[in-house]
Chain A
Amino acid sequence: MVTTRRSAPLLLLLLLGALLALPQVLPRFHTYVAEIVLLTALLATSLNLAIGYTGLYQFGHAVFYGIGAYGTALTLTRSGMPAPVAFLAGPLAAAVLSLLMGLICIRLSKLYFGMIQISLGSLVWAVVYRWYSFTGGDDGIHGIPLPDAIGSPEGSYYFTLAVTALGVFAMYRIVRSPFGKVLQGIRDNPVRAAAIGVDVKLHQLAVLVIAGFFGGVAGSLFVVVENSVFPDMMFWTFSLEVLIMCLLGGMYTFFGPFVGASAIVLLRVFASVHTQYWSLILGTILTLVIIFLPDGVLGVFVRRPRAREAPDA
């Protein structure tokens, strides 16, 4: 796949150019859809740090997205703090929650880890859903005031694009760093990684915090795009939907989740015009992908890492 490697930077530049020009040439609704695609892609990429690169079954990822959004929304509406603080508060809250949940889950492996995470996630959801006086309960929070610079349609698009690009670039550097290589070593064989002196739990916790942080960043972008937050964005079914995005695009490639997220968001927008049976379509796609394309769309071009059935850590 040498040709792919060589042409990749060029492709990315072309893509970035197209994205920069997008609001100038397409109507407002398309720009809005593009914003959703971008922030969802950021979310899926952050999940993939944990699941694709470290082998941690992060089944509650939507919670960090939701807490990122709520952190930002609550700071903007209730505290009177300046916007930059709010945009930092959300992701930081998500990172802290990720650390706390990680400390409980990290003692267990694989599916057990995942099931406890999904359960703790629904606990957080239940609290947000019920705490009317603070979070607005099931109504969520609407009409969140935004600074003028990002309040306009174009402003919010370029802000979303810039933050997504920076976030994805940062995660790309993390994956390519020695730290990232250690994560992949843990994924492929935790026992071997421990044997050569890697502190497995510490690395796992670190990647959970990083994934939670970027998931929270995606949530903050949601506030910019939608001006509102609601508890269903952190419901466990959405966590699994983001997981589908990673799987569809290819979990063992960096840009797989990006491709998967774009495909699913666009499909959903397209399908919702024509049918009310989106779940049926998504379920069928997922079934077909699992049976015929278990390595995802981009996985077709990349050799899959070996030792998937390594002993649990």
Chain B
Amino acid sequence: MDFASNLFSAGTLSQILVGLSRTTILFIVSSGMSLILGVLRIPNVAHGSLYMIGAFAAWSVIQFLGGGLFAFLAAMLVAPLIVAAVGFVLERGFFSYLYEREHLMLLLLTFAFMLILGDLVKIVWGPEYRSVTVPAFFQGSAEIFGLPLPWYNLFLLVVGPCIAVLLWLVINRTNLGKIARAAAVDGEMVGAVGVNVGWVFAFTFVLGSFLAGLGGALIAPMVNISLGMDHSLIMETFLIVIIGGLGNMWGALLGSLIFGLSQSLGILVWPQFGIAFPYLAVVAVLVVRPRGLLRSTW
């Protein structure tokens, strides 16, 4: 009865809440990947590198501004913008000339960028670990049902839904978003009615990169910022968008929830193999619904 007593203990709720704040990061990053997948049809392997650059850039901005709440909040905006600029260069400089090629080539090109960006980060920031301390404003914990939950995790729990709503507004209420959605379903038709598809693609790629950078900046205070943080994340993001349904924004949210929660609950149920639970959830979903839970735009 070890499993049951683990699962129904007082710590379960706080574990779920901590898991949910990590889920927020997963959602922000994978929604960016989902956008790029839906509109450009590129499984962007370099997405994890953009996330890593976001974390390192946030560290640099905070160092530059000397710490404190203002520096922290500025970093949360500036770092994603830097990453968005990198995304812009990649899209306009390389991808825009190669959209006619097979998707295999585009995927391998993003892999090439992952390799290059990884080493560039090593050159710019060096191989050491970096860490960002949470500003004083976010230090300490809130009491939730008698259990402590760090303020920063709570902050993430607020940020996640805000991003989801903002994204929904951009995609459903702005013209650019509507065009991007149309391009996801039928790019040729969008081009035929006179829209410059190239710039729609650029916009999508930049927005997706921004989200990757934002995820990296937001997770900076919670982890060691290190080379290689892109590797594990990119595979988790892939899995999330696959089980959610490629290109489906709500799928990215659902996938993140399934992934994040099975991770935090799995550790409670079976500490040694807790890490395998999200993967088991993925296989279960794929066996039943190989195209993912929600409707894919593919």
**How would residues 106 to 126 of chain B score, 1 for a CB under 8 Å from any chain A CB and 0 otherwise?**
011101111110111011000
The residue in chain A whose Cβ has the minimal distance to the Cβ of B113 is A283
**How would residues 99 to 120 of chain A score, 1 for a CB under 8 Å from any chain B CB and 0 otherwise?**
0000010011011101110111
Q: Which of B41, B118, B238, B290 contacts A279, CB < 8 Å?
A: B118
Tell me, in angstroms, the Cα distance from A57 to B283 when the chains sit together: 19
Of residues 263 to 292 in A, which have CB atoms within 8 Å of B's CB atoms?
277, 279-280, 282-284, 286-287, 290-291
The answer to whether A127 touches B238, judged by C-beta atoms less than 8 angstroms apart, is no
User: Is B246 on the interface with A (CB-CB < 8 A)?
Assistant: yes
The answer to whether B116 touches A108, judged by C-beta atoms less than 8 angstroms apart, is no
User: Is B282 on the interface with A (CB-CB < 8 A)?
Assistant: yes
Q: Which of A107, A112, A116, A287 contacts B112, CB < 8 Å?
A: A287
Of residues 4 to 51 in A, which have CB atoms within 8 Å of B's CB atoms?
51
CB distance from B37 to the nearest CB of A (A): 9
The answer to whether B108 touches A291, judged by C-beta atoms less than 8 angstroms apart, is no
Interface residues on B, range: 35 or more
CB distance from B114 to the nearest CB of A (A): 7
The residue in chain B whose Cβ has the minimal distance to the Cβ of A284 is B116
Residues of A within 8 A of B118 (CB): 279
**How would residues 181 to 194 of chain A score, 1 for a CB under 8 Å from any chain B CB and 0 otherwise?**
00000000000000
The residue in chain B whose Cβ has the minimal distance to the Cβ of A121 is B235
User: Is A210 on the interface with B (CB-CB < 8 A)?
Assistant: no
User: Is B279 on the interface with A (CB-CB < 8 A)?
Assistant: yes
User: Is A126 on the interface with B (CB-CB < 8 A)?
Assistant: yes
User: Is B202 on the interface with A (CB-CB < 8 A)?
Assistant: no
Residues of A within 8 A of B4 (CB): none
Tell me, in angstroms, the Cα distance from A133 to B63 when the chains sit together: 43
User: Is A244 on the interface with B (CB-CB < 8 A)?
Assistant: yes
Tell me, in angstroms, the Cα distance from A284 to B287 when the chains sit together: 38
SS class, residues of chain B in contact with chain A: helix
Of residues 211 to 230 in A, which have CB atoms within 8 Å of B's CB atoms?
none
Residues of B within 8 A of A114 (CB): 43, 104, 107
The answer to whether B112 touches A290, judged by C-beta atoms less than 8 angstroms apart, is yes
Tell me, in angstroms, the Cα distance from A51 to B239 when the chains sit together: 22
Residues of A within 8 A of B130 (CB): none
Residues of A within 8 A of B70 (CB): none
**How would residues 266 to 278 of chain B score, 1 for a CB under 8 Å from any chain A CB and 0 otherwise?**
0000001101100
Tell me, in angstroms, the Cα distance from A51 to B112 when the chains sit together: 19
The answer to whether B291 touches A112, judged by C-beta atoms less than 8 angstroms apart, is yes
The answer to whether A122 touches B235, judged by C-beta atoms less than 8 angstroms apart, is yes
27 cross-chain CB contacts under 8 A = A57-B104, A104-B287, A108-B291, A111-B103, A112-B298, A114-B43, A115-B242, A116-B286, A116-B290, A118-B238, A119-B238, A120-B286, A126-B275, A130-B273, A130-B276, A235-B231, A240-B108, A244-B111, A277-B122, A280-B116, A280-B120, A283-B116, A283-B119, A284-B112, A287-B109, A290-B101, A291-B97
